[in-house]
Structure 1
């Protein structure tokens, strides 16, 4: 997450109108985990995760939604998870949790403007959480792709705009040099040198924060440009990976509004992205046979935004779900930090450590259209559910029973 003045003001008006100001705590999944784990294990064989950016549930799924395709058309075809939560603020910590179960660090909750190695000092006993500071975890910290590979299953990451500007990042496994400033924190407008512009953001590509991935040859073949690869890979079930993580560009995921290329951004552009790609995925042989699409948001938006002559003060409510814990690397809450960008100072205050209520939509041949569940889920729940689908163990906070697993309330078409 980086900051756009028009979106701060718009988001603040929406929040005031909705009466949102307090931390919201959702209930954890009370279903039997062992029962849920068996529901689709061996049935779902291809999963796509599409992660959008920075919207609260009431804006996305409310009566005046700017994203009717997601909020109305797709919920009519699948399941709406109204109790789905992010696991932190502001962006990167959420992506890390989805792929590894690792909670935030002071650096990841600030989006790792410096792409720095994680300095690990120890490991917690219960959940095998890495204790330390930094961004790029050592190879000993395992991820969902590591688990999948160990079981002979396949994975792939598709990244919008990655490699459009080769001077910033490669078109495969694109990330800054270690311990340097991440130049992808800001979108690049179209120019003579870069005709398409470059709205790729490393911080929205979770694969880039684990040495077990970036130091492997798999990274060059498996983390690729979205537009140049996804449709070709969907041509047959045999060329479709078992697990697919899709990160749209900073415009297509709704992060920026307006976008540097002139598009509106926000939920309007995110909805247009889904209208293009969801029919392509659902028409594929892999999806029709045994697919599951998960459309989520990394986090909800901020609780309040107060501009001043020198910068902006932004407060995040930090609502949590599912007995989520802050982890071993964060200080006590509330807490504040500052980021300087473009000559302004952004003061971030975190009331609590969660990512607030976003909602999520799931599509599958195993889900009846129009399904709605209020059960509490979050990114750790999603990771745990995907691990269960493929018969894997649980990583990090996905091990905690409170995380829960997508159950019969979601898979209503079995």
Structure 2
């Protein structure tokens, strides 16, 4: 695969942004560390439109459920709102940016995860399946939808970090500090089946999971929203050698996940993430 690495690049929640910390029984009473030490890389993969109960423990998703056994499963994780686009924007910038639908295009100049990383002399990259070229600004192409790609909407994010999945480096040491991977509509459960998405993950993500175990790196798998229910209850998983496996019951949403990444790299707090508690209890 082509290696495109860019360095120095830099809503109203359904559930409350204040987390209630709860540890697995095996580690109850321990003092949680505020963040893991020296995480080399974080990869965030976003799936589509399925609820917690449609994924966790289901035979159609054997690979995802194998990751559950390896990592931290958040049993009370929620999307911010419906439909898709506001959730991606919230996870990336701490705000839905007043977007309430999947319309395209939008343009913002507010701070975001990429600019925060850039300001800290770290790096960011977004990899979208079926996006035809680096810097593409169109609303769709094959199974790609701009509504699932929040960074393209920000004028302060360099075009070079907006990459097709074919740009993902095969040498994971060359990944940006924080990366998003966005499958196409068939492979992210939006239009395809759970089984199809699960097989795609095994093929495309398991090599990174294996590599991450030896390189102190983290995988986050989450969903934008559930199947349009009022609860908006989604699965969220953290997998990596710094993670204590278990099921964690504190209430989290996309703002808590963003705040956790921000604190991991000593970044500023974007929008609603400033009000959200970082996730602390999963680290070894």
Give the TM-score, by structure 1 length: 0.60
Aligned partner of 1:245 among 159, 180, 185: 180
Q: Distance in 1 between matches of 2:207 and 2:80?
A: 30
What runs of 5+ residues in structure 2 fail to find an aligned partner?
Answer: 1-13, 23-30
Aligned partner of 2:137 among 155, 159, 175: 175
Aligned length: 263
Q: Distance in 1 between matches of 2:15 and 2:155?
A: 34
- Contact 1:37–1:385 under 8 Å retained in 2: no
Partner of 1:10: none
Give the TM-score, by structure 2 length: 0.86
Partner of 2:149: 205
Partner of 1:288: 214
Change in Cα spacing, 1:299 to 1:65, as seen in structure 2 (3 Å) is farther
Deviations 1:331-385 (A, max 9, x none): xxxxxxxxxxxxxxxxxxxxxxxxx11021110101133x110111110001100
Q: Distance in 2 between matches of 1:241 and 1:212?
A: 18
What runs of 5+ residues in structure 1 fail to find an aligned partner?
Answer: 1-23, 116-134, 164-170, 177-181, 189-197, 257-264, 304-316, 320-355
CA-CA distance at 1:104 after TM superposition: 5.1
Higher relative contact order (CA 8 A, sep 6+): 2
Q: Distance in 2 between matches of 1:244 and 1:27?
A: 24
Aligned partner of 2:112 among 137, 140, 143: 143
Aligned partner of 2:60 among 66, 70, 73: 66
Deviations 1:29-84 (A, max 9, x none): 1349xx867331x422310000000001111114x4421211x2111111111111
1:302 counterpart SS class = coil
Structure 1 residue 55 and structure 2 residue 50: aligned? yes
Alignment RMSD: 2.1
Deviations 1:287-337 (A, max 9, x none): 52221100000001123xxxxxxxxxxxxx2x3xxxxxxxxxxxxxxxxxx
Partner of 1:109: 100
| Aligned counterparts, 1:271-350, within 5 A | 271-284=198-211, 288-303=214-229, 317=230, 319=231
Aligned partner of 1:162 among 128, 131, 151: 131
- Contact 1:90–1:111 under 8 Å retained in 2: yes
Deviations 1:102-144 (A, max 9, x none): 1352xx32111x41xxxxxxxxxxxxxxxxxxx321x2x1111
Q: Distance in 1 between matches of 2:15 and 2:255?
A: 16
| Aligned counterparts, 1:54-133, within 5 A | 54-62=49-57, 64-70=58-64, 72-103=65-96, 105=98, 108-112=99-103, 114-115=104-105
Structure 1 residue 406 and structure 2 residue 279: aligned? yes
Partner of 2:27: none
Deviations 1:213-259 (A, max 9, x none): 1xxxx322x22111x2224342xx2x221101110111111111xxx
Partner of 2:235: 359
- Contact 1:199–1:250 under 8 Å retained in 2: yes
- Contact 1:96–1:209 under 8 Å retained in 2: no
